[in-house]
Amino acid sequence: MGQGDSRRSHFATTGGAGGGDRDPSYNMAQRAEVNEQIALALVRLQQDMSSVLTRLNTLEALSVAQHQMNRSRSESESERQTRVRCYLFLQ
In a domain, 60, yes or no: yes
Domain count for the chain, please give it: 1
Q: Which domain holds residue 33?
A: 25-90
In a domain, 13, yes or no: no
In a domain, 82, yes or no: yes
Which residues lie below 8 Å from residue 16, measured CB to CB, with a gap of 6+?
A: 10
In a domain, 55, yes or no: yes
In a domain, 50, yes or no: yes
The pLDDT tens digits for 1-54 are 555 555 444 444 444 445 555 677 789 989 999 999 999 999 999 999 999 999
| pTM (2 d.p.) | 0.50
In a domain, 38, yes or no: yes
Please count the residues of the chain. Answer: 91
Residue among 50, 28, 52, 48 nearest 40 (CA): 48
In a domain, 5, yes or no: no
pLDDT at residue 80, as a whole number: 76
